[in-house]
Chain A
Amino acid sequence: MIRSTHLPLLITLATFVLAYALCASAYPAMLSLRVVANLLTDNAFLGIAAVGMTFVILSGGIDLSIGSVIAFTGVFLAVILRDTSLHPLAAFALVLLLTTGFGTVMGATIHYLEMPPFIVTLAGMFLARGAAYVLSTESVPITHEFYDTLQGLYWKIDGARFRLIGGLMVLTFIVGILVAHRTRFGQNVYALGGGEQAAKLMGVPVARTTIGIYAVSGGLAGLSGIVFSLYTSAGYSLATVGVELEAIAAVVIGGTLLTGGYGFVGGTLFGILIMGLIQTYIVFDGTLSSWWTKIVIGGLLFAFILLQKGLTWAAKKRAAQARMRTATGSAALS
C-alpha cells in the first residue's frame, strides 16, 4: 500500500529509473551488467558510510567526521600491515573497535554535554584527520597476500564482476534496513528525529540511543575505510576529503528529511546509485569535465530540498483538512 510518507522514496526511485533511462538512451552500453557491477564496486565505501549517515540524519543529527575516519582507517591499516606482522583480519577488528569507540565518545559528548552534533563531529573530523597525518603523511601502499585474496573474490555473470566490496555494501544496506525498520533501536532513532522532548516523555532511552547512533556511524565509517583500502590498496591521509558531504547528499537525494524523523535507509542506496550513475555517464561521454558531476549533484540536491519543503507544506495542509474532517465526523464516532 502506498502511503504519503513513502512519497520521497518513490520520487527517488523514479529519478533513478528516469536517469538510467536517459543514460541508456544516450549510451546503450550503460545497460550492461558490467556497468551495474562497477557502479556497486566504485561506490561501495561511500554507500557503507552513507548507511551510518542515514541513521544519524534520521535522528536529527549530523556526522561530519566520517571522511576523516575513513582516511584514518586506511592509513592505520596500511601502517599496521607494513610495520607489524598482524593478520589483516585482526587489524580489521582492531580498527573497527577504534572507530566504533570514537563514535561512542562523540555520541556521549553530544548527549551528556548537550553539545550540537555539528560542533562535536567537526572536532572529530579534525581529530581523525590529524591522527591520520601523525601516522603517515605519505601514501602507504598495502601489499599483503590476504588483500590479494579478498580483491580476487568476485562473482562473475556474463563477463561482469560483482566484487566482494560491492556485496558488502548491499549486505550493509540490508542489515541497515532491518535495523531501522524492524528493531526497537531503529524505532527509537525515528522517535528522536520526531522530537527529543516527546521521545523522552514516551520513555525512549535517549542517552543509549544517541550514543548508539554515533557508534554505528563511526563503526560503519571504519568498515567503509576497510573497503576503501581494499579498493585502493593503499592508505593515504589526504584521501576521502569531503566524503561526509557526499554521504549527506546521498542521504538527502535518497529522500531522508535533513531535519530528521522521516526517510528510509533503502532510499540512500538509490541516492548513492543516482550519484554513481551521473559519474558513469560523464566517463562514458568522455568530453565533459568531471566537475560536471558536482554541478549535477548540486542541482539534484537543490531540487530534492525544494521537494522536501513542498511535501512538508502539503502534509501540513492535509493535516488541516484532516482536522476539518474529524470535526464533522466526530458526531458519528461518539
Chain B
Amino acid sequence: MKDTLTPDTPVLHARGISKFFPGTIALDDVELRLMPGEVHALLGENGAGKSTLIKCLTGAYRRDAGTLLLDGREIDPVSTADSQRLGIGTVYQEVNLLPNLTVAENLFLGRQPTRAGFIMRRQMNAEARAVLAGYGLSLDPAEPLAAYSVAIQQVIAIARAVEMSGKVLILDEPTASLDHDEVQLLFDVVRQVKARGLAVVFITHFLDQVFAISDRATVLRNGRVVGECLLAEMTQRDVVTMMLGRHLEARTKARDTGAAGKTLVEIADLGKRGLIAPFSLNIREGEVVGLAGLLGSGRTETANLIFGAVQADQGRVMLRGQEIAIKTPRDAVAHRFALCPEDRKLDGIVGDLSVRDNIILALQARQGWMRPIPRAKVEEIAQTYVRALDIRLASLDMPIRLLSGGNQQKALLARWLATNPDLLILDEPTRGIDVGAHAEIVALIEQLRADGMALLVASSELEELVAYSTRVLVLRDRQQVRELVGDQITPDNIINAIAIEEVA
C-alpha cells in the first residue's frame, strides 16, 4: 500500500467546478482532489455547497464550468447511472436500496448472472455471500433486505457501490441514523474499502467521526473552497473556525440574571435510541435556555423530543413537580407547551390559509374543533398579535405564503403566543429572515422572558444565543457536552465546547 499522506496523482480531480442557480452561485471555482486509498472529508455548514458539489460529481446536476478528471482522463457523467459505470459509486444517508428485494437481488440488481435470459439465483446468492463475507458480514443473502438493520443495509449499499464502480466511493451522511456501535461497524468497512485503494469521500456533520476516519479534508463555505488540509495537522477547533469563517472575539454583555423564577419543567434522562443520547434539563420561569451546536448535533431533536413530536423511549418529564406523559404534540399543547419548528415552510405555516386562520390554528386545535372560537374573538386575537409583533401585512385575509419570511416567522410566533404557553420552544427562530426582523425577534424573546415565560431556543447563530440566553447547553454528536451559565456565555466558549477534543 502506498503512503496515504504523500499525494501522487488523484483518482478523481475536479477543477474549477462552478454551478449557478437563479440568483445564487452555489459553487464557485471549486477544486477537489481525491487520492487513492484515502478518506477525504467534505466539510461545511448547511448551504456551503457540499451536496451540490457531490451532485455535480455524480452527474445528478450538470456543472456550469470546470473539468472532471478520473484517472487523468476527462469524464462528463450525465446521470448517476453513468457515473456509476465510470467508477463513481454513491451511498446516501437514506439507504437507497429496495427493502422488498433480497440482499442478493439488491447487490446484483441490473447485473444479475443470467443464462439464456434467466437469472441463476443459486449462483447469485453464492456470489453475494462471498462478496459480503469480504466485508465481514455473514448473513443469508436470500433474506429480504428489510430483515436487516440500517447499519447492515448501509454496508450492503457500500458493497454494491464498490462492486459496481470500484474507483471512488462517496458516502453522503451515511452515519446520520446509526448509533455508536453501528458507526464502528461501518467504519471498519470503510477502512477495508480504503485499503483496497479506493478514494472515499465522507460527508458528515459529526466532527468526531471526521477525525476518526478521514485523512484529508476540504472545507467549503458559501460555495467556495476555504482550504484543503491534512487532518493529522489540525485540531477540531481549527476546523470549526474554518467552517464558520471567523475568529470570534470574546464579547460579553451585562446580563440580567436575577429574574428567573420557580422551576417549571424538569427533564430527567430523556432520550431516544439512535436519535439523541439521554439528557437532563431544568427550565425555570423567566429563563431562556439556549441550545447550541453544529447542524446535526441534536438541537432540533432535543426540541422535538420535549414537545412529543418524536416520542422518547426513556426518561421522564416533570411539570411543576408532577410527572407528565408527553407522547404526542397534542399532549404537549395540553400542558401549555408550544413549539415553533425549524422549517416553517414544511412544518409550520399552512401556506394557502389566511394569516388570521394561521394565527388561530393552535388555539383552536387546543379548544377542540367542536367549540369554534367566535369570529369576533378570532379577529381580536389576530389583531392584537399583529399589532404586538408588528406583523406587516395588507390584510388579515391574505394567504400567509405571500408574507415575507420574517413576517411569516412572527405570525407563527403569534400562533403559539395566542395559546399563552408556559414553555415556548423555538427552533431556529431567525433562520432566513432579514436583519431588521432578526433584531425584533431577539427583542421579543427578551420581552417574553422578562414577562416570566420559560423559553428553550435552539439556534446556530452564536451571537444571537449569547444575546438572549440565561443558560446555554452545548450539544455535539447528539449529546449534551457542556452547560454555560452567566459570564461563561461567549461565542468563544461555545465554539470551544463544540470543538472540544475527545479525552481518552
On A, residues with C-beta under 8 Å from B are 1, 3-5, 178, 182-184, 187-188, 190-191, 193-195, 197-204, 261-262, 315, 318-319, 322-323, 325-328, 330-331, 333-334
Contacts and interface: CB of A to CB of B under 8 A. Distances in A.
A182 B96 contact: no
Interface of B: 80-81, 84, 92, 96-101, 105-106, 109-110, 112, 114, 117-119, 121, 136-137, 142-144, 146-152, 160, 179, 181-182, 184-185, 188
Nearest to A325: B149
A200 B101 CA distance: 15
Given A187-B105, A198-B97, A326-B148, A203 B121 contact: no
Given A326-B152, A330-B181, A330-B184, 9 more contacts: A3-B142, A4-B144, A184-B114, A198-B97, A202-B110, A318-B147, A319-B146, A326-B148, A326-B149
B97 A182 contact: no
A321 to B, nearest CB: 10
27 contacts: A1-B142, A4-B147, A5-B144, A178-B118, A182-B118, A187-B101, A187-B109, A190-B105, A191-B109, A194-B100, A198-B96, A199-B98, A201-B96, A202-B106, A203-B81, A261-B98, A261-B99, A261-B100, A319-B147, A326-B149, A326-B151, A327-B149, A327-B181, A328-B181, A330-B181, A333-B137, A333-B185
B98 A191 contact: yes
B51 to A, nearest CB: 14
B151 A183 contact: no
A304 to B, nearest CB: 18
Contact of A334 (B100, B109, B136, B148): B136
Contacts of B101: 187, 190-191, 194
B39 to A, nearest CB: 17
B121 A323 contact: no
A182 B119 contact: yes
Nearest to B155: A333
B152 A193 contact: no
A251 to B, nearest CB: 16
Main secondary structure of the interface of A (DSSP, over half): helix
A150 B135 CA distance: 59
A190 B151 CA distance: 23
Nearest to A318: B147
Nearest to A261: B100
Contact of A194 (B80, B98, B182, B184): B98
B166 to A, nearest CB: 15
Q: Which of B80, B81, B110, B152 has the most CB atoms of chain A within a 10 A radius of its CB?
A: B110
Contacts of A184: 110, 112, 114, 119
Nearest to B112: A184
A7 to B, nearest CB: 11
Nearest to B110: A203
Nearest to B85: A203
Nearest to B164: A203
A187 B100 contact: no
Given A3-B144, A4-B147, A194-B98, A187 B119 contact: yes
B184 A334 contact: yes
A176 to B, nearest CB: 14
Contact of B109 (A204, A262, A326): A204
A164 B379 CA distance: 76
Contacts of A330: 151, 181-182, 184-185
Contacts of A201: 80, 92, 96
A271 to B, nearest CB: 19
Contacts of A194: 98-101
B146 A326 contact: no
A105 B121 CA distance: 33
Contacts of B147: 4, 318-319, 322
B109 A323 contact: no
7 tightest A-B CB contacts, nearest first: A194-B98, A261-B100, A194-B100, A326-B149, A323-B149, A203-B81, A330-B185
A183 B137 contact: no
A178 B92 CA distance: 33
B182 A326 contact: yes
A194 B146 CA distance: 11
B110 A190 contact: no
B109 to A, nearest CB: 5
A318 B33 CA distance: 43
Given A184-B112, A195-B98, A204-B109, A327 B148 contact: no
A202 B119 CA distance: 18
A233 to B, nearest CB: 37
A136 to B, nearest CB: 41
A270 B95 CA distance: 35
Contacts of A333: 136-137, 185
Contacts of A315: 146
A325 B149 CA distance: 8
A262 B105 CA distance: 14
Contacts of B182: 326-327, 330
Nearest to A182: B118
Contact of A183 (B97, B99, B118, B160): B118
A261 B101 CA distance: 8
B311 to A, nearest CB: 13
Contacts of B84: 203
A111 to B, nearest CB: 16
Contacts of A187: 101, 105, 109, 112, 119
Contacts of A334: 136, 184-185, 188
Q: Which of B80, B150, B181 has the most CB atoms of chain A within a 10 A radius of its CB?
A: B181
